[in-house]
Amino acid sequence: NLEYLEAEFYANAVHGHGLPDSLTYGKGRRGGVEGGREVKFKNRNIRQFATEIARDEYDHVRFLRGALGSAAVARPAINIRQSFTAAATAAGLIKPGQTFDVYANEDNFLLGAFIFEDVGVTAYKGAAPLISNKTYLGAAAGILAVEAYHAANIRTVLFNRGLGAATDAISNARDSLDGPSDDDQGVILGGKANIVPTDSNGLAFGRTPGQVLNIVYLTPKVANCGGFYPHGVNGQLHTSA
Protein backbone atom coordinates (compact mmCIF):
# COMPACT_ATOMS: atom_id res chain seq x y z
CA ASN A 1 0.00 0.00 0.00
CA LEU A 2 2.76 2.45 0.92
CA GLU A 3 4.74 1.53 -2.19
CA TYR A 4 1.71 2.33 -4.34
CA LEU A 5 1.54 5.79 -2.74
CA GLU A 6 5.22 6.49 -3.25
CA ALA A 7 5.21 5.18 -6.81
CA GLU A 8 2.21 7.31 -7.78
CA PHE A 9 3.66 10.43 -6.15
CA TYR A 10 7.01 10.23 -7.92
CA ALA A 11 5.71 8.94 -11.26
CA ASN A 12 3.35 11.89 -11.53
CA ALA A 13 6.07 14.36 -10.53
CA VAL A 14 8.51 13.06 -13.15
CA HIS A 15 6.33 11.72 -15.96
CA GLY A 16 2.99 13.44 -15.47
CA HIS A 17 1.14 10.13 -15.07
CA GLY A 18 0.94 7.28 -12.60
CA LEU A 19 1.38 3.53 -12.68
CA PRO A 20 0.09 1.46 -15.61
CA ASP A 21 -3.19 -0.33 -14.90
CA SER A 22 -1.42 -3.68 -15.19
CA LEU A 23 0.36 -2.95 -11.88
CA THR A 24 -2.73 -1.95 -9.91
CA TYR A 25 -4.95 -5.04 -9.78
CA GLY A 26 -5.03 -7.54 -6.92
CA LYS A 27 -6.86 -8.50 -3.76
CA GLY A 28 -9.15 -5.92 -2.23
CA ARG A 29 -10.86 -2.86 -3.62
CA ARG A 30 -8.96 -1.23 -6.48
CA GLY A 31 -9.09 2.55 -6.45
CA GLY A 32 -8.02 5.48 -8.56
CA VAL A 33 -5.60 8.31 -7.86
CA GLU A 34 -6.82 11.85 -7.24
CA GLY A 35 -4.31 14.58 -8.06
CA GLY A 36 -0.81 14.43 -9.44
CA ARG A 37 0.92 16.23 -12.28
CA GLU A 38 4.40 16.82 -13.64
CA VAL A 39 6.71 19.14 -11.71
CA LYS A 40 8.45 21.76 -13.84
CA PHE A 41 11.91 21.07 -12.46
CA LYS A 42 14.43 23.90 -12.87
CA ASN A 43 17.32 22.16 -11.15
CA ARG A 44 18.79 19.42 -13.34
CA ASN A 45 20.16 17.43 -10.41
CA ILE A 46 16.85 17.40 -8.56
CA ARG A 47 15.08 16.19 -11.68
CA GLN A 48 17.65 13.43 -12.14
CA PHE A 49 17.36 12.03 -8.63
CA ALA A 50 13.56 12.39 -8.70
CA THR A 51 13.59 10.31 -11.88
CA GLU A 52 15.80 7.71 -10.21
CA ILE A 53 13.52 7.50 -7.17
CA ALA A 54 10.47 7.19 -9.43
CA ARG A 55 12.11 4.26 -11.20
CA ASP A 56 13.00 2.59 -7.89
CA GLU A 57 9.45 2.92 -6.57
CA TYR A 58 8.04 1.52 -9.81
CA ASP A 59 10.42 -1.42 -9.47
CA HIS A 60 9.37 -1.94 -5.83
CA VAL A 61 5.72 -2.23 -6.83
CA ARG A 62 6.56 -4.60 -9.68
CA PHE A 63 8.84 -6.73 -7.48
CA LEU A 64 6.44 -6.97 -4.55
CA ARG A 65 3.53 -7.90 -6.79
CA GLY A 66 5.65 -10.63 -8.36
CA ALA A 67 6.91 -11.92 -5.02
CA LEU A 68 3.45 -12.00 -3.45
CA GLY A 69 1.74 -13.50 -6.47
CA SER A 70 -1.98 -14.02 -5.94
CA ALA A 71 -1.67 -12.50 -2.45
CA ALA A 72 -0.72 -9.08 -3.85
CA VAL A 73 -3.22 -6.38 -2.92
CA ALA A 74 -4.75 -3.98 -5.39
CA ARG A 75 -3.84 -0.32 -5.39
CA PRO A 76 -6.26 1.36 -2.98
CA ALA A 77 -7.82 4.74 -3.72
CA ILE A 78 -5.07 7.35 -3.25
CA ASN A 79 -5.40 11.09 -2.74
CA ILE A 80 -2.30 13.15 -3.54
CA ARG A 81 -4.13 16.47 -3.78
CA GLN A 82 -6.12 17.46 -0.68
CA SER A 83 -4.07 15.14 1.53
CA PHE A 84 -0.94 17.23 1.09
CA THR A 85 -2.90 20.38 1.89
CA ALA A 86 -4.22 18.73 5.05
CA ALA A 87 -0.73 17.59 6.05
CA ALA A 88 0.79 21.03 5.38
CA THR A 89 -2.00 22.68 7.37
CA ALA A 90 -1.44 20.32 10.30
CA ALA A 91 2.27 21.16 10.21
CA GLY A 92 1.57 24.89 10.13
CA LEU A 93 3.22 25.37 6.73
CA ILE A 94 0.04 27.02 5.46
CA LYS A 95 -3.02 28.56 7.10
CA PRO A 96 -6.44 26.88 7.15
CA GLY A 97 -8.18 27.51 3.86
CA GLN A 98 -4.95 27.77 1.88
CA THR A 99 -3.77 25.13 -0.59
CA PHE A 100 -0.43 23.33 -0.65
CA ASP A 101 0.27 22.27 -4.23
CA VAL A 102 3.02 19.71 -3.89
CA TYR A 103 3.68 19.78 -7.65
CA ALA A 104 3.88 23.57 -7.99
CA ASN A 105 7.65 23.89 -7.56
CA GLU A 106 10.77 22.07 -6.41
CA ASP A 107 10.57 23.14 -2.76
CA ASN A 108 6.98 21.96 -2.43
CA PHE A 109 7.87 18.69 -4.15
CA LEU A 110 10.77 18.08 -1.76
CA LEU A 111 8.65 18.87 1.30
CA GLY A 112 5.93 16.59 -0.03
CA ALA A 113 8.45 13.80 -0.44
CA PHE A 114 9.69 14.44 3.10
CA ILE A 115 6.16 14.10 4.50
CA PHE A 116 6.13 10.35 3.85
CA GLU A 117 9.66 9.37 2.77
CA ASP A 118 10.92 8.95 6.35
CA VAL A 119 7.71 7.07 7.12
CA GLY A 120 8.68 4.39 4.62
CA VAL A 121 11.99 3.79 6.38
CA THR A 122 10.37 3.51 9.81
CA ALA A 123 7.61 1.30 8.41
CA TYR A 124 10.02 -1.34 7.10
CA LYS A 125 12.10 -1.15 10.29
CA GLY A 126 9.01 -1.63 12.44
CA ALA A 127 7.65 -4.45 10.29
CA ALA A 128 10.86 -6.50 10.35
CA PRO A 129 9.99 -8.42 13.57
CA LEU A 130 6.66 -9.40 12.00
CA ILE A 131 8.29 -11.13 9.00
CA SER A 132 9.17 -14.76 9.71
CA ASN A 133 9.88 -15.86 6.13
CA LYS A 134 13.61 -15.35 5.51
CA THR A 135 13.14 -14.73 1.80
CA TYR A 136 10.58 -11.99 2.45
CA LEU A 137 12.73 -10.58 5.26
CA GLY A 138 15.72 -10.32 2.94
CA ALA A 139 13.61 -8.56 0.31
CA ALA A 140 12.21 -6.17 2.91
CA ALA A 141 15.74 -5.38 4.09
CA GLY A 142 16.72 -4.57 0.53
CA ILE A 143 13.77 -2.22 0.09
CA LEU A 144 14.46 -0.63 3.49
CA ALA A 145 18.00 0.18 2.40
CA VAL A 146 16.78 1.82 -0.80
CA GLU A 147 14.12 3.82 1.07
CA ALA A 148 16.82 5.01 3.49
CA TYR A 149 18.94 6.18 0.55
CA HIS A 150 15.93 8.05 -0.82
CA ALA A 151 15.12 9.65 2.52
CA ALA A 152 18.72 10.75 3.09
CA ASN A 153 18.87 12.26 -0.38
CA ILE A 154 15.66 14.22 0.20
CA ARG A 155 16.84 15.34 3.64
CA THR A 156 20.22 16.48 2.27
CA VAL A 157 18.67 18.61 -0.46
CA LEU A 158 16.17 20.13 1.98
CA PHE A 159 19.04 21.02 4.32
CA ASN A 160 21.05 22.58 1.51
CA ARG A 161 18.05 24.63 0.39
CA GLY A 162 17.53 26.08 3.87
CA LEU A 163 14.22 24.34 4.53
CA GLY A 164 15.14 23.03 7.97
CA ALA A 165 12.36 24.89 9.79
CA ALA A 166 9.74 23.43 7.48
CA THR A 167 11.05 19.90 8.06
CA ASP A 168 10.88 20.45 11.82
CA ALA A 169 7.24 21.47 11.46
CA ILE A 170 6.46 18.35 9.42
CA SER A 171 8.40 16.17 11.85
CA ASN A 172 6.43 17.57 14.79
CA ALA A 173 3.19 16.94 12.92
CA ARG A 174 4.14 13.30 12.32
CA ASP A 175 5.01 12.95 16.00
CA SER A 176 1.61 14.33 16.95
CA LEU A 177 -0.07 11.66 14.85
CA ASP A 178 1.81 8.48 15.72
CA GLY A 179 1.53 8.45 19.51
CA PRO A 180 3.19 9.88 22.63
CA SER A 181 6.81 9.13 21.64
CA ASP A 182 8.97 11.95 20.26
CA ASP A 183 11.31 10.08 17.90
CA ASP A 184 10.80 11.93 14.63
CA GLN A 185 13.44 14.48 13.63
CA GLY A 186 13.83 17.24 11.07
CA VAL A 187 17.01 17.91 9.11
CA ILE A 188 18.45 20.24 11.75
CA LEU A 189 19.05 19.19 15.35
CA GLY A 190 20.74 21.41 17.89
CA GLY A 191 21.55 23.90 15.17
CA LYS A 192 23.52 21.33 13.16
CA ALA A 193 22.84 19.09 10.18
CA ASN A 194 20.75 16.03 10.99
CA ILE A 195 20.61 14.12 7.74
CA VAL A 196 20.28 10.71 9.41
CA PRO A 197 17.64 10.60 12.18
CA THR A 198 18.88 8.10 14.78
CA ASP A 199 18.68 7.30 18.48
CA SER A 200 21.58 7.50 20.94
CA ASN A 201 22.98 4.25 19.54
CA GLY A 202 23.02 5.51 15.97
CA LEU A 203 20.04 3.33 15.03
CA ALA A 204 17.01 4.29 12.98
CA PHE A 205 13.72 4.00 14.84
CA GLY A 206 10.71 2.03 13.67
CA ARG A 207 6.96 2.44 13.63
CA THR A 208 4.28 -0.20 14.04
CA PRO A 209 1.90 -0.72 11.13
CA GLY A 210 -0.77 1.06 13.17
CA GLN A 211 1.45 4.09 13.72
CA VAL A 212 2.28 4.25 10.03
CA LEU A 213 -1.43 4.27 9.25
CA ASN A 214 -1.97 7.09 11.76
CA ILE A 215 0.36 9.23 9.67
CA VAL A 216 -0.93 8.34 6.21
CA TYR A 217 -4.54 8.59 7.44
CA LEU A 218 -3.57 11.95 9.00
CA THR A 219 -5.22 11.23 12.34
CA PRO A 220 -3.99 10.36 15.85
CA LYS A 221 -7.18 8.37 16.43
CA VAL A 222 -8.11 4.80 15.60
CA ALA A 223 -9.33 4.85 12.01
CA ASN A 224 -9.53 2.68 8.92
CA CYS A 225 -9.37 5.40 6.27
CA GLY A 226 -8.49 9.03 5.65
CA GLY A 227 -5.71 11.30 4.43
CA PHE A 228 -3.77 9.76 1.57
CA TYR A 229 -6.10 6.71 1.57
CA PRO A 230 -9.69 8.01 1.54
CA HIS A 231 -11.14 4.48 1.55
CA GLY A 232 -8.38 2.86 3.58
CA VAL A 233 -5.66 0.42 2.57
CA ASN A 234 -6.05 -3.13 1.35
CA GLY A 235 -4.93 -6.19 3.30
CA GLN A 236 -5.31 -7.46 6.85
CA LEU A 237 -3.59 -4.53 8.57
CA HIS A 238 -5.81 -1.57 7.78
CA THR A 239 -6.60 0.08 11.14
CA SER A 240 -4.45 2.78 12.72
CA ALA A 241 -3.23 2.61 16.32
Q: How far apart are CA 227 and CA 222, in angstroms?
A: 13
Q: Give the residue among 148, 151, 211, 217 at the shortest CA–CA distance from 175.
A: 211
State the first-to-last Cα distance of the chain, in angstroms, to the nearest integer.
17
Residue 121 confidence (pLDDT) = 95
Report residue 45's pLDDT band, with 50, 70 and 90 as the boundaries.
very high
Q: How many CB atoms lie within 10 A of CB 75?
A: 28
Among residues 56, 47, 59, the alpha carbon closest in space to that of 15 is found at 47
| pLDDT per residue as tens digits for the range 144-158 | 999 999 999 999 999
Cα angle 18, 64, 23 (rounded to 5 degrees) comes to: 35
Percent of the chain with pLDDT over 70: 100
Q: What is the mean pLDDT of the chain?
A: 96
pLDDT, tens only, 6-43: 999 999 999 999 999 999 999 999 999 999 999 999 99
Is 166 in contact with 111 (CB distance < 8 Å)?
yes
CB 178 within 8 A of CB 222: no
CA-only gyration radius of the chain, Å: 17
Strand partners, 189: 192
Q: What is the pLDDT of residue 35?
A: 97
Percent of the chain surpassing pLDDT 90:
93
What are the pLDDT digits (tens) for 176-230?
Answer: 999 888 899 999 999 999 999 999 999 999 999 999 999 999 999 999 999 999 9
Domain ranges of the chain: 2-216
Cα(99)–Cα(96) distance, integer angstroms: 8
pLDDT for residue 48: 98
pLDDT confidence of residue 181: 84
Band (pLDDT 50/70/90 cuts) for residue 51 is very high
State the alpha helices, DSSP H only, in 69-208.
82-91, 106-127, 134-160, 164-177
Instruction: Confirm if 184 and 118 have CB atoms less than 8 A apart.
Output: yes
Q: What is the pLDDT of residue 179?
A: 87
Q: Residue 186 — φ and ψ, nearest 5°?
A: -80, -170
Indicate the range of 57-61, 214-218, 233-237 predicted with least confidence.
233-237
Phi then psi dihedrals of residue 189, to 5 deg: -140, 120
